[in-house]
Structure 1
Amino acid sequence: MEWRKAMEFITCFMVLLAGALGDEESKDHGQPPHIIFIVADDLGWDDVSLHGSSQIPTPNIDTLAQDGVTLTNYYVSPLCTPSRSAIMTGRHPIHTGLQFGVISPEAPYGLGLEEKTMAQYLKTLGYSTHAVGKWHLGYFAKEYTPTWRGFDSFFGFYNGRGDYYTHEEVQSEVSGYDLHKNGKVYRPAFGQYSTDIFNQEAEQIIKAHNASQPLFLYLAHQAVHAGVYPDRLLQAPDKYYQRFPHIETEGRRMYAAMVSALDDSVGSISQTLRDAGLYDNSIIVFTTDNGGATYDFFDGTHASNWPLRGCKHTLWEGGVRGTAFVNSPLIKKPRRFSDQMMHVCDWLPTLHSVAGGDPKELKNSDGFDQWDALSNNVPSPRNEILHNIEPIEKYAAIRVGDFKLHYGAFGGKIGSKYFSGWYPPEGATSNKAEYVPNSFRVRCPSKQANASTNCDYGDRKPCLYNIRDDPCEYNNIADWNQDIVEAMKARLQEYRRSAVEPRNQPLDPQSNPKLHGNVWEPWVTLSEDDQHVTYA
């Protein structure tokens, strides 16, 4: 009898061991997933019906998010270049020197060549790598452009904005063409809408892809950033404009049309993956690069981050809490909202890990591998987020647990104005439009009369908010929580000691497109010493 029990135990143990080994073998030797990484530009929190408002329906974004994991406690940088650098490197902008402003078309600098990009990491794991759309990480020398940074192909524009049809960027009253394919100027798309041509290129890459090789497709849409010409800053085909007769404000209506075109692209990419037989082994990431630029912001955009405070360029929640989701059949516990804390720096270690990479290869990473939290709904490994330490205008913000500390002028100052208010969507009959079922809504406490004034920019005292209880940053609780304030100031100081100087450089007149056939293109030839790099 004892012998029989022993044999039963051994048999059961061997079955369990075989299953475990089989799982491990599948994890180690199965094909890595295809990764489709979609970035929206300047998309506001309240610009998707995923977050509750029915003013701008986004059915494709909503469906993918609701079938996957909607990120509700996820943060980005307040501007384009810093967020994109963090996506590519997994390093905070204070550690790559891209913490101040964005890279101007005339600026002779970029993401340092010593920084290894997501494309380079994934390429070593056997991925085919392709970039479509906006780059905005430097192009003054060819070595800073995408096909020199790990991408097999690139179709898009180097700078931060452009006209959606002529693909021209205007800087210092100088206009130049900015659409390139694999390092060469690409003119056949002149007159075609940016969202359409980038979507078409992404679709072609998916359709032509050999399914036996893992695919990394980085689709960084121009939408919904403002254009460049004052008489047509917001642009969309008329069929999208006609979808929004209920929006009475012209700027908001055209902006909604741009969002709708973006949403159609997201749906199209998802369907193309399915048609190509790639979807079942894929991960789709969708994220904005920063909060939306609201209607009185300087560039003419009509986004809304309602009910969050602030907008693009600020460290208020409206500038840094990002719209994002992950959709994948590989997620073990899908169809949920994820309140786990996550930062834009986490994408590289997360995707590198699920692709089979060795975390030891990621040197000096500021990110965390979040795949277990995303897939299995376990606690996030992250408990704090440095929003930024801006050394020029001298403001900073940090989140630790539920608390967020603002220090300095809080960012977003354009001229003499701070963009620190709350900006409801224009054209709505009320601030509480019809809400969409199964969506995520930010719940704010009662707004007190002094909400706009209880954090004084002039005296530069730190301001403290409990973001879990007060996500709309109404109530500055610093005065009666000085112990928390001092602890968070000390943590900021630790980060400050690790920061590098901004890489920003004076504008170079040699960048002028008139010197280069009316094209924005690389204008500096690096020496052999400058081309040789050792990765950080």
Structure 2
Amino acid sequence: MMTLRHIIILIICCTAAFCEKSEKPNIIIIVADDLGFNDVSFHGSLEIPTPNIDSLCYNGVILNRMYTAPLCSPSRASLITGKNSIKLGKIIMIVSLPFQFTPYINTGMQHYVIPSDEPWALPLNEKLISNYFQDAGYRTALIGKWHLGFYKQQFTPNFRGFSDFFGYLGPYIGYYDHSLIMLDRNYSRGYDMRRNTEPENRTGTYATDLFTNEAVDLITNHDSDTPLFMLLTHLAPHTGNEDRPMEAPEETIVKFSYIKEEKRRTLAAMVSKLDEGIGKVVKAVQDKGILNNTVILFMSDNGGPSFGIHSTESSNYPLRGQKGGVWEGACRVPACIYSPLIQSNRRISNEFMHITDILPTMASIANISITDKSLDGINQWKTISEMKPTERNEILYQIESVLGFSGLMINGWKLVNGSENLNFSGWLGGSGDYMETSFEEYINMIEQSIAFKSLPKMESEIIKELMKKASTMCNKNTPVTKCDPKSSPCLFNIIDDPCEMNNLAESYPEKVDFLLAGLKRYSEVMLPSIRKFSDPLCDPKNFNNTWNWWRKDDANYDLVPDVRDSINMKIILCIIGLSFILTGCFVLFEMMKRKEQARLRNTEKSNWKQMTSGSN
């Protein structure tokens, strides 16, 4: 019979379970592709207004020193693993008889991106952010770009911890036809859009709108009793196919007729559609009634490309360099985080943060324990929420062993060693300061934005102050000194000289040596590039003109840690056991051989004595 005491205990337990369930925050990470430091208006330029992004950032914390890897695949790999791309890979133990173990390192994600025709991918021995959140009871969704390899199905999102996937597997697609054509390869044009594992034809819908609508629908129809982890990785504003790289609705392009350069005018329209989409996502979260228990992070995956391959005439002003290198313009990106869970909102954080910090930080917010102790990222939640000083004093920009350049910052001192292309080592992209838009006009755009109407109201004076603080300016009194990193390393104090104008290598040779030693330290744990070149079997014509995985899964290749380790251990133990058996047999054989030799010697001695005694 249930007593009153039993009923009270039951109520307490149910209440505790409900509270525990409801307290898990929803996590939404929105990643723009190739968005330059000066392609958003919260950094001070009104050439391309981004009122929705700005509203989100002003209400939260602008992460003014957020760093990434310089290219897409390495950056995304670091985001979802919490590790520097130079360390991502698997270690195979080769066992030599009888007991010699040799570590053989055979993969690495740091060199280049993953084209759709190349058979390599983020190794399966890495536990991803999606795995952690899925194990913690979250619904895990990826909408948009994957670009971490798909030559085997086991490398695709649904097999990497994402319960929901809608998007494309390769580096980019056409904004309207959702296909990928590789003009430098003799392959067919292939469609690349799918829901989970099956292609889904959504041709004709602008890709940014498509991913926005998918995210809004998922949020709207989501069961609020289950916490949500969503990674929304937009195509925008990356270029599409080489035969039609810049695409945006014409009615959006005409809004930016004041921009003279045609390519940058189209870029502005692409960014505007991205901004509009982010506003719709924020509104969907508010309409769902879950905003108070949601964390929204916005960032770019790397700096913008002003010139060269996939150029959009993006601007990283006033930072030096562009996507692909180790200058600030390649790796310092626009970023912010918003949540009512943050204790100190509406401010600028100038603390150093790195893309590897996202996994441990988001896991901390969700009270998820990280089992992998080899992470490079650190938990930055107290720095974000409580304004605590960061524990991060070091940024590894990249070690590009194939092309021969690297970059490292420790305590504000940065070394640039080598260069990917000296033509892209200057200050690229315009400032946008020709704009005559008044601050009042800007405030009006902010107040009319979807995101602003969905977030707590904010006074214009606060916006003005935050915009001023978020604007990075070069010191006009800083001398511009010669820097040729291909000849000798260059040294900068990026706290005082964020625009990398004054090369201090000759003045502080001991700091150069210290940072070179730091790069050597990283090089000692760096894995060689895993990159493998084009495989003709990938051709979309073999798969109904669709990009698809083209090799069969291998049960013993790149397995998830527990399975892989179990198989590896069994193999190692078998080899060890075999070595023991063979060694034992060898020893036994030697013992028997020596025993037989001793018997024969004794027999010979006995016979000799008998022969000798007989002759006497």
What TM-score do the two structures reach when normalised by structure 1? 0.90
Matched, 1:149 2:160: yes
- Structure 1 pair 497–236 and aligned structure 2 pair: CA distance change class (3 A): same
- Picking from 370, 373, 396, the partner of 2:406 is 396
Determine if contact 1:54/1:434 at 8 Å carries over to the other structure.
no
> What is the aligned counterpart of 1:456 among 463, 484, 487?
484
- 1:64 maps to amino acid: L
Return the offset for 1:447: 7.0
1:387 corresponds in structure 2 to 397
Residues 1:346 and 2:357 are matched in the alignment: yes
State the shift of 1:446 in Å.
Answer: 2.4
Gaps spanning 5+ residues in structure 1: where? 1-23
- In the alignment, is residue 76 of structure 1 matched against residue 68 of structure 2? yes
Across the aligned residues of Structure 1 and Structure 2, the Cα RMSD in angstroms comes to: 2.0
C-alpha displacement of 1:133: 0.2
Q: How does 1:224-373 map to 2 (within 5 A)?
A: 224-230=237-243, 232-294=244-306, 296-359=307-370, 361-373=371-383
Tell me what 2:27 maps to.
35
**AA paired with 2:140?**
T
Partner SS for 1:286? strand
Q: Which amino acid aligns with 2:132?
A: Y
Q: 1:423 aligns with which of 424, 428, 434?
A: 428
Which region of structure 1 is more displaced relative to structure 2, 61-70 or 428-437?
428-437
1:180 paired residue number: 194
Structure 1 stretch displaced more, 524-533 or 103-112 = 524-533
* CA contact 1:143–1:531 (8 Å) conserved in 2: no
Q: Give the Å deviation of 1:448.
A: 6.7
Hey, what does 2:593 align to over in structure 1?
none
1:225-255 C-alpha deviation (Å, 9 max, x unpaired): 011133x311111232122121121111110
Higher helix share: 2
Which amino acid in 1 is paired with 2:519?
Answer: L
* Aligned residue identity for 2:241: V
Of 120-129 and 238-247, deviating more is 238-247
What 5-or-longer segments of structure 2 have no aligned partner?
1-15, 89-107, 443-463, 566-616
| Paired residues for 1:441-452 under 5 Å | 441-446=471-476, 450-451=480-481
1:18-75 CA distances to partner (integer Å, 9 max, x unpaired)?
Answer: xxxxxx9999775210001100000000000010000011000001100000001110
Instruction: Please give the secondary structure, in 1, of the residue aligned with 2:42.
Output: helix
Q: Which one-letter code corresponds to 2:399 in the other structure?
A: I
SS in 1 for 2:510: helix
Q: Is the CA contact 1:424–1:431 (under 8 Å) kept in the aligned structure 2?
A: no
User: In 2, distance between residues paired with 1:458 and 1:402?
Assistant: 22
Matched-pair contact (CA < 8 Å) for 1:313–1:319: yes
- Give the aligned residue type for 2:483: C
CA contact 1:53–1:433 (8 Å) conserved in 2:
no
Distance in 2 between residues matched to 1:430 and 1:133, nearest whole Å: 34
Deviations 1:128-185 (A, max 9, x none): 0010000000000000000000001101000111110011111125321111111111
Give the letter aligned to residue 500 of structure 2: E
| Equivalent residue, structure 2, for 1:59 | 51
CA distance, structure 1, for counterparts of residue 438 and residue 303 of structure 2: 22
**Counterpart of 2:333 in 1: which secondary structure?**
coil
**1:306 maps to amino acid:** Y
Shift of 1:308: 0.5
- State the Cα deviation string for residues 403-448 of structure 1 (Å, max 9, x = none): 100112x22x3xxx6311112338x474998787331111212277
Verify the 8 A CA contact 2:125 2:558 in the aligned structure 1: no
The range that moved more, 524-533 or 331-340, is 524-533
Instruction: Name the larger-Rg structure.
Output: 2
Asked if the contact 1:107/1:505 (under 8 Å) is kept, the reply is yes
Q: Would the aligned equivalents of 2:236 and 2:274 in 1 still touch at CA under 8 Å?
A: yes
The whole-number CA distance in structure 2 between the counterparts of 1:492 and 1:229 is: 36
SS of structure 1 residue aligned to 2:406: strand
| CA-CA distance at 1:276 after TM superposition | 0.5
1:126-137 matches, cutoff 5 A: 126-137=137-148
Query: Match of 1:45, SS?
Result: coil
Query: Paired residues, what number?
Result: 500
Residue 508 (structure 2) aligns with: 481
The aligned amino acid for 1:357 is I
Q: In structure 2, what residue type is equivalent to 1:363?
A: K
Alpha-carbon contact 2:21-2:225 (below 8 Å) kept: no
Alpha-carbon distance change, 419 to 82 in structure 1, aligned in 2, over 3 angstroms:
same
1:79, CA displacement in angstroms? 0.5
Question: Which of 376, 385, 388 lines up with 1:375 in the alignment?
Answer: 385
CA distance in 1, matches of 2:493, 2:438: 28
Identify if the C-alpha distance between structure 1 residues 315 and 463 changes in structure 2 by more than 3 Å, giving closer, same or farther.
Answer: same
Alpha-carbon offset, residue 297 of structure 1: 2.1
**Equivalent AA in structure 1 for residue 225 of structure 2:** S
Runs of 4+ more than 6 Å apart: 24-29, 431-436
Letter matched to residue 498 of structure 1: V
Match of 2:451 in 1: none
TM (normalized to structure 2)?
Answer: 0.78
CA distance in 2, matches of 1:512, 1:448: 53
Per-residue CA distance 1:86-135 (angstroms, 9 max, x = gap): 11100110001110000011111110000111111001111000100000
Matches of 2:66 and 2:212 in 1, distance apart? 26
Question: CA 1:51 to 1:450, structure 2 compared with 1: closer, same or farther past 3 Å?
Answer: closer
Pick the aligned partner of 1:506 from 525, 533, 536.
533
- Partner Cα separation in structure 1 for residue 33 and residue 354 of structure 2: 17
Instruction: Answer with 512-521 or 32-41: which moved more.
Output: 512-521
